[in-house]
Amino acid sequence: YYNFDSSQRPHSTSVMADQLCGLWYLHACSITDEVFPQANVKSALETIYRLNVKGFRDGKMGAVNGMLPEGTIDDFAIQSEEVWTGVTYGLASLMIFEGMVEEGFHTASGIYETVYNRIGLGFETPEALHPSNTYRSIGYMRPLSIWAIQLAWQRRQQASGEQTH
């Protein structure tokens, strides 16, 4: 994975859930240039999935924004302790774009289960979920990135020659 920053402070090695958001934007725009070595992308996504998704709330709440390499939540700032619904959906779609389909849908399912089934905010999706079972900024725009999951899925189907109904 890519370090949060180069400061050498304790949080500098934090694993950020959206560290590859630029690559996600490129995929969404159908730009296929290799910006990062493919092995680095795969390693980063696998690390994020292992730590930020599966290592947080048993993989049932989405991707926490910041996780330290030893598996503890980065408490440097409140934002690093939160799950951002839109970031999680973007990450899930990037996983699908990159061939990690099962991991992508599992990542997205944590948001669905939490927002729709547990707290009942399906039509007021919040921006942020906190491990203390609180949330903030309902009706936020970033969760509309859920549509990127459909885009990634359709592109995978098109690439394999399947119908995309």
47-85: per-residue pLDDT in tens? Answer: 999 999 999 999 999 999 999 999 999 998 989 999 999
| Measured distance CA(19)–CA(41) in Å, rounded | 10
Is there a contact between 76 and 136 (Cβ–Cβ < 8 Å)? no
> Can you give the residue ranges of every domain in the chain?
10-160
pTM exceeding the 0.85 threshold for the entire prediction: yes
Dihedral sign, Cα of residue 23, residue 27, residue 28, residue 29: positive
5-51: per-residue pLDDT in tens? Answer: 778 887 889 999 999 999 999 999 999 899 999 999 999 999 999 99
| Measured distance CA(61)–CA(87) in Å, rounded | 12
